Amino acid sequence: MKTVLITGCSSGYGLETARHFHAQGWNVIATMRTPREDLLGQSDRLRVLALDVTKPDSISAVVESAGPIDVLVNNAGIGVVGAFEATPMSTTREVFETNTFGVIAMTQAVVPEFRSRGDGVVVNVTSSVTLAPMPLAAVYTASKMAIEGFTASLALEMAHFNVRVKLVEPGYCPTTQFTSNGSVRMDGLIPEAYRPFAEPILAAFGEADAVTLPADVADAVCRAANDTSTQLRFPAGADAVALAAPS
């Protein structure tokens, strides 16, 4: 029976992905900054562990407690929407600490085990902002584009050791990527001068017809984890699939 470790399982994509893998018969290690046992229920194939991907000691403790794993899913992330001009560098660093450096640190923590065993999969969850430019998301896009490049390069590097590295690119989900845990971070990021430009865009976010569901992402992550081909990218959700399609 295989074991998957998933980051960012307190809600949205991570929570649904943990449920999906568990339903498929996997051992699941669901991690979140503040563990909540009630989110996933009780099972002898499920563990909920505390993890903050921005803290090296937290990463080391989780990797040691988890023991051998077959798949790492780097899902933990935070969002930010706003005019780049108004985005403090402290906010930019906060976004990169989780979305970029957190992913890199978690990956580096498990790669030695995968390499020495000659088996293992890393699945990095990015965003459809890497497939097409989106206004008011420059910092968020940069943090995710960095992981796209990181993953593509690492996939070539680790293939020598029979370790697979994959990307899942979710489309727009109004209840997760940009809104959860981000309201304070985004306060004041639309200055008055930007309002005529920003307000129609923000309104369109709420009226989008083709949105991605957490179940779409969970399915794509599971497919990526089980894929033995050289396919790197797995768009998730109808909007992401459309953006990824050849023009």
Nearest by Cα to 130 from 164, 103, 170, 92: 170
Q: Is 172 designated active site?
A: no
Instruction: Provide the pLDDT confidence category of residue 190 given band limits of 50, 70 and 90.
Output: very high
- pLDDT higher than threshold 90 for residue 183: no
Topology classification of domain 3-244: Rossmann fold (3.40.50)
Q: Give mean pLDDT, residues 180-195.
A: 75
* pLDDT for 237: 85
Question: Which parts of the chain fold into alpha helices (H)?
Answer: 12-23, 56-66, 89-96, 103-117, 138-159, 195-207, 214-226, 238-244
* pLDDT for 173: 79
* pLDDT for 100: 98
- pLDDT higher than threshold 50 for residue 47: yes
Structural domain spans, the chain: 3-244
* pLDDT for 177: 46
* pLDDT for 205: 76
Instruction: Provide the pLDDT confidence category of residue 207 given band limits of 50, 70 and 90.
Output: low
